[in-house]
Amino acid sequence: MTAQHWTDLLVLGAGPAGASAALAAAEHGMDVVLLDEAADAGGQVFRAPPKSFVVANGKRIDPDFHIGASLRDRLAASRVRKVFERRVWFVAPGFKVSTFGPEGLEFWTAKSVVVASGTYERVVPMPGWTLPGVIGLGAATILLKSQQALPGETTVVAGCGPLVAAVAVGILKAGGKVGAVIDAASPGDWARALPSMAVRPDLLLRGLGWVGRIRLAGVPLLFRHAVVEVRGGDSVTEIMARPVDNQWRPRWDVPARAFQCDALAIGHGLVPAVELTRLLGAEHEFAAERGGWVPKVDEDCRTSEPCLYAAGDCTGISGAAPALLQGRLAGLTAALDDDRMAPEAFAQETSALRRKLQRARTFGAASARLMTPSPGLLDTVTPDTVVCRCEDVTRREIEAAFEAGAADLNQVKAWTRCGMGPCQGRMCGDTAAALAALRLGGREAVGPWTARTPIRPVPMETLIGEYDYEDIPKPAPARR
């Protein structure tokens, strides 16, 4: 029998935003279920190491290790029901959610829901990017922080935004070799971000320390360059880099530089994961500087749907520090709307929180801007480059669909199968939409893919459970 659970508040995602929301709502007497795919809370930034790993000095792994550890300690001491290793594959309005995991298929019903689904990575494709050995910058971070593993023997680190330097330094600290650091931004782009980043001098200094460390290690550091090709047979052996212009268009007139490597960690910012808020009917808007399509939320984290709240990077890329604060705000709002808190107490408890959030967001917005790729980078997607990894759809095929009259993103999907594979367009969606926007005049005109269930691939045997052919009611054969 499939398990059915009921709760006041269901929090989807146990990263900084979701964990804080769950703690805040539980403090005010709500029954809270906190769901996540991982084995413990923390999300990607504060990801817990495997339980069997012994961590002697967390600070050596990550200066913010203690934030994640304290979040997990507070959750352990709280009344929040922590339900991990569950993949949400289905959500419906009225708040019915289905998961699969160690207990098989489960159904959850809740009065209110906080969505804190975080982000996934944007990688603007280039020839050869599907080769094994190419991983995202976020993936490299998980390898280094949670798994204590290096991406390869020699890793080239490339892309844009603060993660480039962070990953390169993480590899160096772990004793690995970095073949080159290739940043699409110029030192000037970084300098322009400095005033906003100065609200967090600690993080700013950490960032400057990264650049010093890369230089000190003698690693080639290429600003305003992009990886234009990945080469190798069964896996990466070499990458080619070219300078880019101020729109990040590769300069094909300048000779490319080759770097030998067995791994490439590359990323071009983050995209908010909004399939849950979209399936739950919330209104969304396009905000390029915050990563893409995001749910519209009011200053208390309410979406356009009653009793549906959203917090953290799924409402716009801003980072883990604001997510901790915004999550708490969402949890308190859920408690207020459920009459667990007096409006005066809510106002009092949130006023300092809002000030802190404002400050944290200034830094977050500056790093989000550094992560946003300039449109010229799309030129690395040559006609024969695979855009949709799942279905092997090339840019040429996508462009052919536009030539044939495709008028929005969903038509491109139907005609080419781009975005129809098991990742459901999460890896190619942003690129396909950016290519469409070049033709159709902007991302709003292009629209997003239609969000569809299943949200994650779910094995058929999980769905049907013990149900067998013998269990199907079969009418007696008609008599002749």
Partner 1 sequence: MEIRVDGRRISAFAGESLAVALAAEGILHLRASPQAGTPRGMFCMMGVCQECVIRVDGRAVNACQEPVRDGMTVISGTLK
Judged by the rule CB under 8 A, the positions of this chain that interact with partner 1 are 37, 39, 44, 49-53, 87, 120-121, 130-136, 138-139, 142-143, 147, 149, 234-235, 386, 389-392, 421-423, 426-427, 456-457, 459
Specify the residue, 187 or 457, whose C-beta has the smaller distance to partner 1.
457
Specify the residue, 8 or 275, whose C-beta has the smaller distance to partner 1.
275
Least distance between partner 1 and beta carbon 387 (Å): 13
Evaluate whether 236 touches 262 at the Cβ level (below 8 Å): yes
Specify the residue, 89 or 346, whose C-beta has the smaller distance to partner 1.
89
Least distance between partner 1 and beta carbon 195 (Å): 33
Three-class HEC string of 370-401: HHCCCHHHHHHCCCCCEEECCCCEEHHHHHHH
Pairs from 298-303 (Cβ < 8 Å, separation ≥ 24): 299/354, 300/329, 300/330, 300/333, 300/336, 300/350, 301/114, 301/326, 301/329, 301/330, 301/333, 302/333, 302/337, 303/115, 303/277
Specify the residue, 51 or 480, whose C-beta has the smaller distance to partner 1.
51
Least distance between partner 1 and beta carbon 426 (Å): 5
Within 13 Å, how many C-alpha atoms sit on residue 431's CB side? 30
Evaluate whether 275 touches 97 at the Cβ level (below 8 Å): no
Evaluate whether 341 touches 392 at the Cβ level (below 8 Å): no
Specify the residue, 356 or 417, whose C-beta has the smaller distance to partner 1.
417
Least distance between partner 1 and beta carbon 415 (Å): 15
Provide the terminal-to-terminal Cα distance of the chain, rounded to the nearest Å: 39
Least distance between partner 1 and beta carbon 237 (Å): 12
Specify the residue, 44 or 277, whose C-beta has the smaller distance to partner 1.
44
Specify the residue, 121 or 379, whose C-beta has the smaller distance to partner 1.
121
Specify the residue, 147 or 348, whose C-beta has the smaller distance to partner 1.
147
In whole angstroms, give the CA distance from residue 313 to residue 320: 8
Least distance between partner 1 and beta carbon 118 (Å): 9
Which residues, listed in sequence order, are joined to residue 259 by a DSSP beta bridge?
A: 239
* Residue-level length of the chain: 480
Report CA torsion sign: 365, 207, 64, 198: negative
Least distance between partner 1 and beta carbon 45 (Å): 12
Specify the residue, 53 or 252, whose C-beta has the smaller distance to partner 1.
53
Q: How far is CA 40 from CA 46, 51, 72, 85, 456, in A?
A: 10, 9, 8, 8, 19
Least distance between partner 1 and beta carbon 236 (Å): 9
CA 161 vs. chain centroid, Å, equals 14
Question: For residue 468, what are the contacts with CB-CB under 8 A and spacing of at least 6?
Answer: none
Least distance between partner 1 and beta carbon 39 (Å): 7
DSSP H stretches of helix in 42-186: 58-61, 65-77, 137-145, 162-173
Specify the residue, 44 or 318, whose C-beta has the smaller distance to partner 1.
44
Least distance between partner 1 and beta carbon 146 (Å): 8
Residue 219 burial (10 A CB sphere; 0-12, 13-18, 19+): buried
Report CA torsion sign: 48, 49, 55, 61: negative
Angle at 289 between CA 283 and CA 292, to 5 degrees: 40
Least distance between partner 1 and beta carbon 443 (Å): 21
Specify the residue, 234 or 468, whose C-beta has the smaller distance to partner 1.
234
Q: Which of 267, 245, 269, 289 is nearest to 182 (CA)?
A: 267
